[in-house]
Structure formats: C-alpha cells, structure tokens
Amino acid sequence: MAAGTLYTYPENWRAFKAQIAAQYSGARLKIASNPPAFTFGQTNRSPAFLNNFPLGKVPAYQGDDGFCLFESSAIAHYLSNDALRGSTPQAAAQVLQWVSFADSEIIPPASAWVFPTLGIMQFNKQATEQAKEELKRVLAVLNQHLNTRTFLVGERIGLADITVACSLLWLYKQVLEPSFRQPYPNVTRWFVTCVNQPQFKAVLGEVKLCEKMAQFDAKKFAEMQPKKEAPAKKEKVSKEGGKQQQQPQQQEKKEKKKEDKKPAPAEEEMDECEAALAAEPKTKDPFAHLPKSSFVLDEFKRKYSNEDTLTVALPYFCDNFDREGFSIWYAEYRFPEELTMAFMSCNLITGMFQRLDKLRKNAFASVILFGANNDSCISGIWVFRGQELAFPLSDDWQIDYESYTWRKLDVDSEECKTMVKEYFAWEGEFKHVGKPFNQGKIFK
Ligand SMILES: N[C@@H](CCC(=O)N[C@@H](CS)C(=O)NCC(=O)O)C(=O)O
C-alpha cells in the first residue's frame, strides 16, 4: 500500500484527484500544502525539490520509500487500487481515455471560462464564448455516454469518474447555472452522485452547484495583480466587465504613455496558480480565543534547553504549569511495524517537528524512538496550549498527527507525572512502552 506526501497548494483540484483516489484505495497520504511543510512558489523552486521534481510543479508526490512522481494524473493512478484503475485491459484503457479526455478536452476551455470569474485571469469575451461552445460539445459527449451508464467505466466509481469530476468541479461551482446545464441532465446526475460519495466528500467537502453564472471579477483581478513600481494607474471596467485600456496619469511623459498602452507583459501577471494561492484567505491565529496564560512556555523551553532537566527545568514546569491554559498528551506512533532504519525514524520525528514549526509558541514535545533498526517504536509527551489537540485547528498541522494515537493525560495522575519526568529527562523505566523496547537503546 502506497504511503507518502503530496506537495501542493491548498484547494488544488489537480491534487484532489490523488487525494480522492487515496480515500478509495486506503493509500496513506499526507498533504503538505502550507508552510512550514510547503510554501508554493518557494519550496517548489528550491534545489532539493527540483532535484526530485525537475519541473518544480505541483502536485508532486514523494513516497515514504523515496519514490517520486509528478503529473497529477500519474500520481492519482499510482495511489489508486486495481478496481479504480480498471481491472481488465479494456477497462484500464477506457480509464486512460477519460483521463486524457479530461486533460485535453475539458481543462483548456474550463480554465478559459472559469479563471476570469475567479479574478485570476484577464477576461476575453471571444475566448470565453469559444470556451462555452467547446464545453457544450464536451458535456454533450458525456451526457450521451452517461445516458445508459451510472459511471464512466464499469459499474463502480473509478479513476475516470474521479478525474473527470474533478476537472468539472470549478465549472459546476462557478458557471454551470441551471439553464446552462439543463440539456445535460445525465452529467449533472452523475456529478452529484460522485461528489456525494463519502470518499469525495472527505476531500471536497460539500459541493454546492452554481445557481447564477459567475462573471468576470474585475476588482479581484486588479487586486491580485502584482504591485508595479510605476505610478498608480486608473482603470475602467467596461459594461461586459472587461478591463479597458489603462490610462497613464497626465504628468507622465509621452514615452511612458506609449509603454503603458501596450498590454501588460505576461511575466508581470501572476500565473493562474500563484493567483489561486494569493486568493486564499489568510489564516488567523487558532489560539486567539484562549485567555492569557500565566505559564510562559518560552521560559520553560529556555530552561529545558539550557539547564539541567531534573533539577531545574522539571521543577519549573511543575511549579508553573497552568492546567486551565494547557493540556498534556501522550502520543504513540501507530505503525511501528513499518519503522525500519533508526535514522529514517528520526527523520520522521524531526520532519514532524519542522512541519509543526508554527506551533512552537503553543506547544512543547519530547518524543523518543525506542529500540533498534527494524524493531522500534515512537512515543512522546506533548504539551499543548488549550484543552484540545491543537492539530485540527489548522490545516498546516495535519500532516503527521493521524499517524499517532493521542491520549490526554490527567495532570494529577501518577502516570502523567512519571511520563512527564521520563520523557522530559529521556531516562527512566518507561514501563508503559514494555519490553524489549524499554531495555533497548534509546535514540533521541
Ligand atoms: N499537468 C500538470 C500541471 C501541473 C501544474 O501546472 N502545476 C502548477 C500549479 S497548478 C504549478 O505547480 N506551477 C508552478 C510553476 O510553474 O512554477 C499536472 O496535472 O500535475
């Protein structure tokens, strides 16, 4: 069973294909879509990323075993099972047919029509009208095919349905208003069936079909253009919503006027993906609602890093811990049988810490790898701001936490006191870990 990380930006429909396929197949997929794990425009241009994915594009997949793959359809294929891929040569070929159909027949006109409505591409009336006509043809083909079928290939949902439905996602959300989709009832019936499957819902959430065709969002488009150094320009919006010729300010020189009359050079506009990312709402502090705490986590961390654990840091922790403002959790890695080389398991732990860097001000953890190569387990003590597990509070933090079981400890219990002491000091009996691990070597 495949297990690995999918690098993408949030809400990327290309990544959705792989994510939904993984929901069906049971492949274990971590999503790296936000800092610190992944910053679109930075991480994907770093030498380390380019070494694995030379185009620097996302989605990109890296297996826990190091296997790297780019191109969203290939990733979705890899994360599928045989049932999704088509279990006969004919079915598999038909799946490929619909995947190619989505790439070459749906995506180009869908992008031309939908992106201006999201304000991430300039509006061009002719291009939009042409896209609408192309999509009518595409929808008619699908409608005809689905006239006698529930799904695109075979009797069950497969990769063809996942891929084509994801390609139609933004169309159905933004522009396919009831009158436009009315001639294609089989397509809408099939699309609604797909997106209401639990495996789709787990990734897409509730998909609300468009009620009124969205138009070009000129304001958003203007806002999302990168700031230029040139003086401010006035901008008018035509009745159709198209941006008219930009007018330079009067005091600018004639030469400058000439320049400004040219359409903006392509490289100055955001590409569709950067614009989609810029459109993401800014995340707010997930702990903002909590009352101020008397326990200064930073101060404890300073003592823990610089002074003796048992004589200084631990007593400070016990004396100052704020049970209303913080909670203590025991975490155990769920798949110890998959841990092989110790250095890889250590990377797993440190990778998790790196991905959770933004939690630094609100959490502390001491995690230990017990045992030896090919026979080990991981567990730790986590201290979190608030009384709930912090991970679900932010999409940024959800990559690793499902690989662990989490148990909130009663701060007054002997169990908690012992665990805190042992994990903080990295020494002790670790009775709960059991033999042979608690007698074996401890990698810290
Ligand atoms: N055919 C590719 C397209 C991937 C693609 O164009 N990705 C864009 C984001 S939507 C990207 O990563 N662009 C970054 C760049 O070009 O630097 C796929 O389906 O995976």
Q: How far is the CA of 58 from the centre of ligand 1 (A)?
A: 5
What are the pocket residues of ligand 1 if the criterion is a CB atom closer than 6 Å to any ligand atom?
A: 14, 56-59, 71-72, 273
| Ligand 1, atom nearest to 59 Cα | 20
Of residues 369 and 175, the one with the higher pLDDT is 175
Of residues 144 and 229, the one with the higher pLDDT is 144
The whole-number average pLDDT for the span 376-393 is 88
Residue bearing the CA closest to ligand 1, atom 19: 72
pTM of the predicted structure, to 2 decimals: 0.59
Alpha carbon 37 to chain centroid, angstroms: 10
In whole numbers, what is the pLDDT of the chain averaged over residues?
A: 85
Q: What is the pLDDT of residue 375?
A: 86
Q: Specify the range with the lowest mean pLDDT, choosing from 1-5, 44-48, 120-124, 252-256.
A: 252-256
Residue bearing the CA closest to ligand 1, atom 1: 71
Asked if the model's pLDDT at residue 211 lies above 60, the reply is yes
Residue bearing the CA closest to ligand 1, atom 6: 57
Q: What is the pLDDT of residue 198?
A: 95
For residue 249, name the pLDDT band (cuts at 50, 70, 90): very low
Q: What is the pLDDT of residue 388?
A: 87
Q: What is the pLDDT of residues 253-306, one digit of tens each?
A: 333 333 343 344 333 455 566 665 565 555 567 788 888 899 999 899 888 888
Asked if the model's pLDDT at residue 242 lies above 50, the reply is no
Q: What is the pLDDT of residue 283?
A: 55
Q: What is the pLDDT of residue 344?
A: 74
291: left (phi over 0), alpha (psi -120 to 50) or beta: beta
Q: What is the pLDDT of residue 264?
A: 40
Q: Specify the range with the lowest mean pLDDT, choosing from 348-357, 382-391, 402-411.
A: 348-357
Q: What domains are defined for the chain? A: 3-79 (3.40.30.10), 87-204 (1.20.1050.10), 297-443 (3.30.70.1010)
Q: How far is the CA of 293 from the centre of ligand 1 (A)?
A: 44
The whole-number average pLDDT for the span 98-111 is 97
For residue 234, name the pLDDT band (cuts at 50, 70, 90): very low
Residue bearing the CA closest to ligand 1, atom 15: 57
Q: Specify the range with the lowest mean pLDDT, choosing from 97-101, 151-155, 178-182, 428-432.
A: 428-432
Percent of the chain scoring above 90 in pLDDT: 61
The whole-number average pLDDT for the span 413-435 is 90
| Ligand 1, atom nearest to 276 Cα | 10
Residue bearing the CA closest to ligand 1, atom 2: 71
Q: Which of 11, 14, 167 to mutate to test the pocket of ligand 1 (most atoms within 8 A of CB)?
A: 14
Q: Which of 7, 13, 39, 58 to mutate to test the pocket of ligand 1 (most atoms within 8 A of CB)?
A: 58
Asked if the model's pLDDT at residue 440 lies above 80, the reply is no
